[in-house]
Chains A and B, each alone.
Chain A
Amino acid sequence: MEHQIVQDASIAEVPVAGPTITARDVNVFYGEKQALFDVSVDINRNSVTSFIGPSGCGKSTFLRCINRMNDTIPICRVTGDIRLDGENIYDTDLDVVELRARVGMVFQKPNPFPKSIYENVAYGPRIHGLTRSKKELDELVESCLEKAGLLKEVHDRLDEPGTGLSGGQQQRLCIARAIATRPEVILMDEPCSALDPIATAKVEELMDELKANYTIIIVTHSMQQAARVSQRTAFFHLGKLVEVGDTRQIFTNPRNKRTQDYITGRFG
């Protein structure tokens, strides 16, 4: 298992901060319509990067390029170059299934499978054969639920359906499910937009803990959230990457006029 080795290596070099993902001149087309224009950005390892911008600015589209989720849309076409640890993810030699195991994703609306809580988390390890015994799988499920801060709430009802949990719990279950495949990167597409403030706070706390081991990219509509959780922020507008930099700098001293207008609430 090649990606296993890569992943172990990434854990070994935890403190080293360098770009895991480098994107150059990425263009995305939906049929005739161009949704992204020449996006180039570096995503740092073991940190949280947030993508902000008004609706329809292309931030989710770009996020979905990183695990090639756009492949599921027949009319979507991607050009340019995105590298994960130096490897071109749009290379024909690269197996998209393997890529998605390395780049996990959490969606806007919690989408647990209509299975038990246990089965939801065990899904990824099972299909990738990550564990050798039932006991190992049990331990993995438990540790993932623990990392997602959900174990305490659900430890006595792992057999109950995941769809029966509250919205916030469901979203943390989806995070547990994502980290169970031992990814290097976790993509979060507005993970808190369907949650109340308390559940949101829990998920944000979780991101803060997870960034020690994972590279996290979050798309958010809430600028406060971007400011709270991320180290770097990228501002998208009309399909273009307008500005990217340290979160503190973006929010206190934006270089671009449009960024300033957006974060001060003058449009969007």
Chain B
Amino acid sequence: MKYSAIVLAVLVVAAIAFVVAIARARAAQQGGSVKMHSRIGYYGWYAAIWTLLPALFLVFVWVVVEPIGLSRLIRAELPDNFHTLNAAQRSLIVGQIETISEGLSLLDPAGLDTLKKARLGFKPMSEAQQVLKDQGIVLGSAPEGYAVTAAVKLRDAREWSRMILAGLVGLVVLAGFAYSISSIRPRLRARNFVERVTLGGLIAASLVAILTTLGIVLSVLFETIHFFKLVSLSNFFLGTVWDPRFSAAGSGGAEGQFGLLPLLWGTLFISFVALAVAVPVGLFAAIYMSEYASQRVRNFAKPALEVLAGIPTIVYGFFALITFGPMLRDLGAMVGLNIAATSVLSAGIVMGVMIIPFVSSLSDDIISAVPQSLREGSYGLGATQSETIKRVIVPAALPGIVGAILLAASRAIGETMIVVLAAGIAANLTLNPFEPVTTITVKIVSQLTGDLEFDSPQTLVAFALGLTLFIITLALNVYALYIVRKYREQYE
């Protein structure tokens, strides 16, 4: 029996409970002569919740606990030499058993018979593999006899487990149904109950977001610790050479050099160029939009500028690679500069264009939020519009503008696609903006793609890089938020 079938059945009963409860509540109202504590709908929800929630909770517990119990069962079934294998081989065999047990339900009697004979040694195992393959169950190699035995046991145990679950859920649902329906009376505080449950749901939703973040951070952190067991801290943080060698399966060992500095430098260099483009352009655009532009221009230009933020970064990437990079190279050649087609400059400028809307849109909002009374105060003293902007508006909005710039910066630091295409993948420690460099994010991608083994330093370094990046952008974001918050208090 599948979980989905059980959940569906519970939902149907809950819907029935809802309808029955409403009917009961109506009856208890006695045509309006009795004052109910809550409105009728709440009684329906009250019963539905009582029917649904305990059962769903039980299913949830089962989803978590059942695989643990079943895997114990299989392990007990396996021969002793299984426990001497390494982790990868063990997980391979367990996976095979899973696959066979799922396949069993698809086999016809003849197929099952073949499997049984193969298990007992009357037929070659390859025949059993073939029978399974005919049903779309592909195995990497011919299974051992004990694997098939375990698979059969697994299937039986799972079926039992689901039967028990279905029985328990049935009991719980009926109990909830009976309890809630029987407790419906005018004084029942159904509304309070429903609202408490709703509140619990809201809290659960926010917990999911928080716990997910926590989970991501922790998993990256543990892998990073794992990495630093293989590679020294100084190799990573102080190394000036990025040369991790191959990460192919089986190479093992910490042979490569994992210097963070060239990547960090590349990241900061490109972000710096991007900000050098985005800050002046974005800020001036924001000043024009908020202070000079007429309402009609503003209505058109602001969304148009924000479209820039909606262009996928990969599109910027190939714009930089195919159009802008070569153009820059040709321009450089004209004036005698040797600019590589993929360079810091081309990636930085294109990335700068990408983050213009972040700077301009936020700054525009912040400048518009400066009270009109300050503008009038300044005009009233005979200041011109530009004097007012330079001496009153921008200084008053400055903390907020800095916050906007920092948010744009953290966006630039985390950017990957543009850099892959426009700045190259060579880790250079160079001051020359015309040469290719690469960034942390690009190297994370290249370390994690391809045929790889998950416990080599070549792969694990991606987590260390990810954590470094995370800490940098987190610090920037926290700082930006701090500044923005401080700015909010300014006019109070």
Residue among A123, A128, A181 having the largest count of chain B Cβ atoms under 10 Å: A123
The count of A-to-B residue pairs whose CB atoms sit within 8 angstroms is 73
User: In the complex, A99 Cα to B380 Cα: how many Å?
Assistant: 9
User: In the complex, A178 Cα to B381 Cα: how many Å?
Assistant: 6
Which residue in B295, B378, B379, B384 is a CB contact (below 8 Å) of A113?
A: B378
In the complex, which residues of chain A have a beta carbon less than 8 angstroms from the beta carbon of B373?
Answer: 107, 109, 111
A100–B371 CB distance below 8 A: no
User: In the complex, A67 Cα to B383 Cα: how many Å?
Assistant: 12
Which residue in B294, B391, B490 is a CB contact (below 8 Å) of A123?
A: B391
In the assembled complex, the CB of B398 is this many whole angstroms from the nearest CB of chain A, namely 10
B280 at the interface (CB under 8 A from A): no
A127–B381 CB distance below 8 A: yes
In the complex, which residues of chain A have a beta carbon less than 8 angstroms from the beta carbon of B294?
Answer: 74
B490–A114 CB distance below 8 A: yes
In the complex, which residues of chain B have a beta carbon less than 8 angstroms from the beta carbon of A112?
Answer: 377
A111–B391 CB distance below 8 A: no
User: In the complex, A72 Cα to B490 Cα: how many Å?
Assistant: 25
In the assembled complex, the CB of A89 is this many whole angstroms from the nearest CB of chain B, namely 13
A111–B379 CB distance below 8 A: no
Interface majority SS on B: helix, strand, loop or mixed? Answer: helix
User: In the complex, A99 Cα to B383 Cα: how many Å?
Assistant: 10
A19 at the interface (CB under 8 A from B): no
In the complex, which residues of chain A have a beta carbon less than 8 angstroms from the beta carbon of B378?
Answer: 113, 123
In the complex, which residues of chain B have a beta carbon less than 8 angstroms from the beta carbon of A111?
Answer: 371, 373-374, 376-377
A114–B491 CB distance below 8 A: yes
Closest to B392 in A: A113
With A111-B371, A114-B395, A127-B387 in contact, do A174 and B377 touch (Cβ < 8 Å)? Answer: yes
A101–B396 CB distance below 8 A: no
Closest to B372 in A: A72
User: In the complex, A181 Cα to B218 Cα: how many Å?
Assistant: 62
A147 at the interface (CB under 8 A from B): no
B376–A124 CB distance below 8 A: no
A104 at the interface (CB under 8 A from B): yes
A24 at the interface (CB under 8 A from B): no
Q: What is the 8 Å Cβ interface bit string for chain A, positions 109-130, against chain B (1 contact, 0 not)?
A: 1011111000000011001100
B375 at the interface (CB under 8 A from A): yes
Given contacts A113-B378, A113-B392, A163-B490, 15 further A-B contacts (CB under 8 A): A69-B380, A104-B381, A105-B376, A105-B380, A107-B377, A112-B377, A113-B377, A113-B396, A114-B491, A127-B383, A127-B384, A128-B382, A163-B491, A174-B377, A181-B381
27 pairs, CB–CB < 8 Å, chain A vs chain B = A69-B376, A74-B295, A97-B382, A97-B383, A97-B384, A100-B379, A100-B381, A100-B383, A101-B381, A102-B382, A107-B373, A107-B376, A107-B377, A111-B371, A113-B377, A114-B374, A114-B396, A114-B490, A115-B395, A123-B378, A123-B391, A124-B382, A124-B383, A127-B391, A163-B490, A177-B381, A181-B382
Residues of B bordering A, CB below 8 Å: 294-295, 371, 373-384, 387, 391-392, 395-396, 490-491
